[in-house]
Amino acid sequence: MLPVVALVGRPNVGKSTLFNRLTRSRDALVADFPGLTRDRHYGEGRVGEKPFIVVDTGGFEPIKTEGIVKEMTNQAQLAVEESDIIFFLVDGRSGLIPQDQRIAQSLRESGKPTYLVVNKAEGMSEVVKSEFYELALGEPYPISAAHGEGVRALVDMALEKYPTEKEIEKDGDFAHKIRVAIAGRPNAGKSTLINALIGEERLIAFDMPGTTRDAIEVEFQYKDKDYILIDTAGLRRKGKVFEAIEKFSVIKTLQAIEKSNVVVLLLDAKAGISEQDANIAGYILESGRALVIAINKWDDIGEYERTRVREEFEHKIHFLKWAKSLYISALYKRGLGNLLTAVNEAHAAAFVKLSTPKLTRALIEATTRQLPPRARGGRPKMRYAHQGGMNPPVIVIHGNALQDVPESYKRYLEGFFREKFNLKGTPLRIELRTNKNPYAQND
């Protein structure tokens, strides 16, 4: 599972600034699940070679017992419980204050690996740095979250024992067995769907419980295909029966998505499409995972409600048009065969291998049908294409003046390649590189 890094500290020490630096975002709301601003915010770490999840919290006030501040403290304490690593931020400009000492005491009691991070450390003297040794949390690490100074070194040190993204993807099961995460908000029917899938064939091999925070993996077979089901709800064995417990956890959802190669986003037709559904969908999109959308409880609503759900879906999840959407009933086990067929197709599309000649021929066909628009007195020239990655597929196009290609034309190319190679159910990334094929003739 991806390591979880929690950012903890009193208010206004720079936690949100560091969160934005670590996730390379601007708004501290990369994967903001609905709730008040004092809730925890989650994002995908994008510093260094090792993937991780970062959690931003409200200010930590261990002695406050009521009101909004109490809720902020509760959220920070939950973040500590969920985390593998803690970055405890203090303010190098204001120096050590009693509130920092109270927080340090709480963190020492947690027993979690904690890094004392002195933010706003630009030009900080050794005398100021030395006073933070009083917190008894080891060496203080000076950084500037605003300018990025010291951040990469801190992350590399904290994640030293964890695998790189390439090492994770080399895991033999990652590409060969279809790893399916079931994601969705509470009461969408994840537990019912999981029980329907694993109970239908009764071919459970084993379950592999991790820590209480980890998602649980279950192997099963359907029509001679091997699947690993990554459960975000929490599967527990009860005698010989698997009992699914509906328990929503953002961390479990994010970790399951990252560890999967296909995500099934389960929507609740009876409740309608919510902003929370859209937020989960947004994180799946950002993760680059293949996706199938299953609209559950379809048998439980009438034609009027079905029209409403379709309209809500078009409005709120319009950015996932490349994903196949299906109407199912997990309770009555309707549509499950079609669901697994769609999962297979999405997996095949995510791991497709396309040769350079095949891609280049398709590129020539696309640009012949519709030329790139002129810009700055000339027309961009696309010369050849090759595959730059899988899961999701990346198509790299080389040529001249490609920096002038508008987003609308990139979308045209994406649609063309999707149709040409039947890439349904996976994100597709187009990269443009302005250089020349050494074997190409100059115009």
Query: What is the dihedral angle through the alpha carbons of 359, 365, 368, 373, rounded to the nearest 10 degrees?
Result: -40
* 191 among annotated binding-site residues: yes
* 351 among annotated binding-site residues: no
* 15 among annotated binding-site residues: yes
* 381 among annotated binding-site residues: no
* 12 among annotated binding-site residues: yes
Which residues 6+ apart lie within 8 Å of 426 measured at CB?
290, 291, 322, 346, 349, 350, 391, 392, 393
* 190 among annotated binding-site residues: yes
* 298 among annotated binding-site residues: yes
CA angle 53, 54, 56 (to 5 degrees): 150
* 20 among annotated binding-site residues: no
* 16 among annotated binding-site residues: yes
* 233 among annotated binding-site residues: yes
Cβ count near 380 (within 10 Å) = 23
* 9 among annotated binding-site residues: yes
* 184 among annotated binding-site residues: yes
Please check whether residue 191 is in contact with residue 61, taking contact to mean a CB–CB distance below 8 angstroms: no
* 299 among annotated binding-site residues: yes
* 122 among annotated binding-site residues: yes
Please check whether residue 426 is in contact with residue 290, taking contact to mean a CB–CB distance below 8 angstroms: yes
* 13 among annotated binding-site residues: yes
In angstroms, the CA 39 to CA 325 distance is 31
* 341 among annotated binding-site residues: no
* 219 among annotated binding-site residues: no
* 249 among annotated binding-site residues: no
**Buried b / exposed e along 318-341 (16+ C-beta atoms within 10 A):** eebebbbbbbbbbeebebbeebbe
* 399 among annotated binding-site residues: no
* 84 among annotated binding-site residues: no
* 112 among annotated binding-site residues: no
* 333 among annotated binding-site residues: no
Provide the CB-side half-sphere exposure for 339 (13 A, CA): 24
* 322 among annotated binding-site residues: no
* 62 among annotated binding-site residues: no
Decide: helix, strand or coil at residue 393.
coil
Which residues 6+ apart lie within 8 Å of 24 measured at CB?
46, 47
Which segments of 56-139 does DSSP mark as H helices, in order?
67-82, 98-110, 126-130
* 67 among annotated binding-site residues: no
Amino acid at 106: S
* 344 among annotated binding-site residues: no
**Buried b / exposed e along 100-118 (16+ C-beta atoms within 10 A):** beebbebbeeeeeebbbbb
Please report, in range form, the residues annotated as the binding site: 9-16, 56-60, 119-122, 184-191, 231-235, 296-299
Please report, in range form, the residues annotated as the binding site for GTP: 9-16, 56-60, 119-122, 184-191, 231-235, 296-299
